[in-house]
Structure 1
Amino acid sequence: MSVAPSPDQVYERATAEGRRRLSLSALDQVSTGFIAGVTIIFGIVALGVVEALVAPPSGSGVGSLAGALAFAIGLVFLVVGRSELFTEDFFDPVAAAIEERGRRVWARLLRLWGITLVLNLVGGALLVALLTVDGALPEGAAHALSRVAEEIAGKGWSATLARAVLAGALITLLSYMLNAVDTVAARILVTYLVGFFLALGPFDHVVVSALHLLFGIWLDGAVGYGALATNLGLSTLGNLLGGLLLVTLTHTAQVKS
């Protein structure tokens, strides 16, 4: 029976992985961010398809639960495939930057964040455009995705910000836990549980929520671009606060103390 690594060992692994990510070329960062945006769409579509199948006979509550279970598959694809969403760069690269110090490393970190976020959205938007072609989605899935978009857009700014803080903390916690496990099976299990909880909330992850809203805009105009812009701003801020303050800096203090 293997022994779980200590916090120091987890942090050392995170630092090594963070150095690797920060040393990637701009082209590597662009391609990794783009693929992640494409990949997470499969989870969003799975949520819509499964919810459309389950909700009519079983009720909206069971449909939402089943949809969250389906969405988690997309996050598993993303982690096993070694592509990265914006919030996955809140723990490992930050740990590396703290160890290395200096202005240059923080500039590289900001570049990584910017490239990853933009390319996550570009890659996801491309697939959303393909899937909003008439008849591309199974019957009922379009309505389910539009309903989710309306729910996201209908929240007040304070609720959106609070849910974004929780989403940032949750995905950054996933990054930490992935450094604490040693097998592919364990990585899949941890990722699936986090993906399920993220969708069940639902919590506002800047990329996932933005792509949900794009479905609502391009499918039937259920929401507008103003709602998308507002959610992007609040979710980005909330994800940063939750990921950095609640998880990354807390674990850093745990190790440094």
Structure 2
Amino acid sequence: MTTPTSDKTPDLSAKEQHEVEKSQPPRAAVLHEIIRTQGDQELERSIAALWWSALAAGLTMGLSLMGMGLLNSRLPDGDEFKVIASFGYCAGFLAVILARQQLFTENTLTAVLPVMTRPTLKNFLRLIRLWTVVLVGNLCGTILVAYVMLELPIFDSKTDVAFLEIGRKVMEHSASQMFAKGIVSGWMIATMVWMIPSMESAKMWIIILITYFMALGDFTHIVVGSAEVSYLVFAGELPWSDFWAVFAGPTLAGNIIGGSFIFALISHAQIRSESGAPKESADQAVKPDPQSIKK
């Protein structure tokens, strides 16, 4: 939006005025288009490319479990030290997002915007294809990394106990709590994805801020949580039925609702409302006065 001439601060040079315009944050419509374009590119990727990227992301997300376990096992007991240990949760998200690997909860916003912009059957089927491949790839990666962390002699016994405690804490929640916390988690990840294009230079800090608060609030995340809870399964403390029915199903539903049906839908509705507002066309803005032409 251009500021009316009468409202501008006087005595600004052309260079200074350019600096003012350049420093303005992008409009919501610009952010929407950036993310929609990214989503459209993801929807066009082959199944093989999506699969290997999603599998790599699942393996990489094991860094969150590893980071929290290592910090918890090396810090004294006490709530104040749990606050510090929660920073370990950020490790997997940082690595996955900065490496541009496929993370399911990112796609609850990124890949959904093209479908909301053009809700055709073809786009919807492309979305289902992407979600299915990425989710399965993520879960295979996290479950595999949890098995390796438990079965191979990588960590000391104190760290192994810390991994178990992390999984037990997740499973203290009922299925309804998993669902409710998953909604908040999905909304927070979508917020993070929306913020990054406007603050690319601060991307790392945005990721740390959002995921750190997710850890502090014990909000459930389908990918990180699958590493934490499957560790319990492989340790013999939890049946697979509880993994799917109590944790995975409710958390997945919550993440999708929080990221797609709340954040993405509201953000898209905002852009649709703005685009429907009457605007002066470029032709009207420069149309000359007929009387002046006659003169």
TM-score of the superposed pair, with normalisation by structure 2 = 0.81
| Counterpart in the other structure of 1:144 | 162
The answer for the alignment partner of 1:48 in structure 2 is 69
Deviation at 1:134, TM superposition (A): 4.8
Give the whole-Å Cα distance in 1 for the aligned partners of 2:171 and 2:200.
39
The 1:139/1:212 distance shift into structure 2, 3 A limit, reads: same
**Post-superposition shift, 1:161?**
1.1
Counterpart of 2:34 in structure 1 is 13
Farther-moved stretch of structure 1 (19-28 vs 139-148)? 139-148
Matched residue pairs, number? 251
Q: What corresponds to 1:62 in structure 2?
A: 80
**In the alignment, residue 152 of structure 1 is paired with which amino acid?**
V
Counterpart position of 1:235: 251
Which amino acid in the other structure matches residue 259 of structure 2? Answer: G
Structure 1 portions without partners, runs of 5+: none
Aligned letter for 2:88? A
Q: 1:138 offset after TM fit, Å? A: 3.3
Q: Runs ≥4 in structure 1, deviation > 3 angstroms?
A: none
Equivalent in the alignment of 2:223: 207
Superposed, 1:184-199 pairs within 5 Å as 186-199=202-215
In 2, the alpha carbon distance for the partners of 1:151 and 1:26 equals 35
Contact 1:153 1:227 in 2 (8 A): no
Q: Do the aligned partners of 2:72 and 2:82 also contact (CA within 8 Å) in 1?
A: yes
SS of residue paired to 2:70: helix
Instruction: Answer with 1 or 2: which has the greater Rg.
Output: 2
Which structure 2 residues correspond to residues 75-224 of structure 1 after superposition, within 5 A? 75-183=93-201, 186-218=202-234, 220-224=235-239
Task: Compute the RMSD of aligned alpha carbons.
Answer: 1.5
User: Identical aligned pairs, as a percentage?
Assistant: 22
In the aligned structure 2, how far is the partner of 1:177 from the partner of 1:142?
36
- Quote the offset at 1:253 in angstroms: 0.9
Partner of 1:22: 43
Alpha-carbon separation, structure 1, partners of 2:177 and 2:115: 32
Q: Alpha-carbon deviations, 1:26-74, whole Å to 9, x = none?
A: 11110111111011101211111101111xx3x3313321221122122
Deviation at 1:130, TM superposition (A): 1.5
Deviation larger for 190-199 or 137-146: 137-146
2:238 is paired with a residue whose SS is coil
Does residue 226 in structure 1 map to residue 230 in structure 2?
Answer: no
Mapped contact 1:146–1:222 kept (Cα < 8 A): no
Matched residue SS, 1:203 = coil
CA distance in 1, matches of 2:46, 2:71: 38
**Of 117-126 and 149-158, the range deviating more from structure 2:** 149-158
AA in 1 matched with 2:224 = V
* 1:244 counterpart residue number: 260
Deviation string, structure 1 residues 117-136 (Cα, Å, up to 9, x no partner): 10001112222222112531
